[in-house]
Every structure is written in structure tokens, then in C-alpha cells.
Amino acid sequence: MSICDIILEMEKIARGVAIKIFNKNSREEKELKSTDFQNVDINSVKTMRPRSFGREYLCNSIWKKLGINNFLLQSRISPNTILLLAALSLNRLIIPGSKRHTMEWTDNQSSTLYEITCSPLHSSLNSY
């Protein structure tokens, strides 16, 4: 068998493998397209209490990465107090203001409490 024959055989194998990969990807794409989609009239969609999210997510990620919660827990500070400290600290970092402004912003415009607690039940600082 010559080098040309080896190259031709490799080419034939590579084409066969490429066809198999293409067919597999094509099947997977068809399966994805067969998922259940629903049409939605966007004019009928109403937003209720829109809140900012990006800055809160970023600041909370840094808070977690620094391990501030663990430090405060080791200092015997209660979990509810840690949540309040995190909410007030993050919101003052994002939008500095008075305590009153921070509470209003947290309760009405920010997703900080949801980001910290991962629970929609705690939508106000007054719940602590």
C-alpha cells in the first residue's frame, strides 16, 4: 500500500466520520426544535414591580467570594442580622443614600433581598 492509498483511505474514513457527526448533530437539533413552544401576545404581558438585578448580582457574588457571611457567622451574628447587613451594605455600595433611602430602594426597586435570600417571600427589609 502506497502513501497515496493511505491518504485516500484516511480521507474516506474522515468523510464517513464527518457524515456521522453531521447526522448526529442534525438529529439533536431536530429534537430541540420539537420542544413545546407557545405563542405569547406581548401586548398582553404586564410587568409588576420591575427591579434591577445586575449590580445586585455582581455585588452579592463578590460578598460571597470574600466569605463575609462565614466570617459574620463565626463572629456569632445571627443569620437574619447577616441578611440585613448584606442588604444594607450592598445597596449602599450600589446606590449610596440614607437609611430611609436604602430601605425604600431595597423594598421598591432592587432585587437585593431576592438575590441574597433566593426567596421571593422576603421582599421587604421590614420582614426581618
The Cα 126–Cα 103 span in angstroms is 9
For residue 74, what pLDDT is reported? 92
For the chain, 128 residues long, give each residue's pLDDT as a single digit of tens. 677 777 778 888 888 888 888 888 777 776 666 666 778 888 888 877 777 778 888 888 888 899 998 999 999 988 888 888 887 788 788 878 777 777 777 777 776 666 666 555 455 555 55
**Would you say the pTM of this structure is higher than 0.75?**
no
SS3 39: coil
For residue 33, what pLDDT is reported? 63
Q: Where are the alpha helices (DSSP H) in the chain?
A: 3-33, 54-66, 68-74, 79-94, 99-108, 112-117
Q: How far apart are the first and last CA of the chain?
A: 81
Of 93, 98, 23, 22, nearest to 57 (Cα)?
93
The Cα 93–Cα 95 span in angstroms is 6
Q: How far is CA 9 from CA 1, 13, 14, 76, in A?
A: 10, 6, 9, 71
Locate the domains of the chain by residue range: 1-30, 54-127
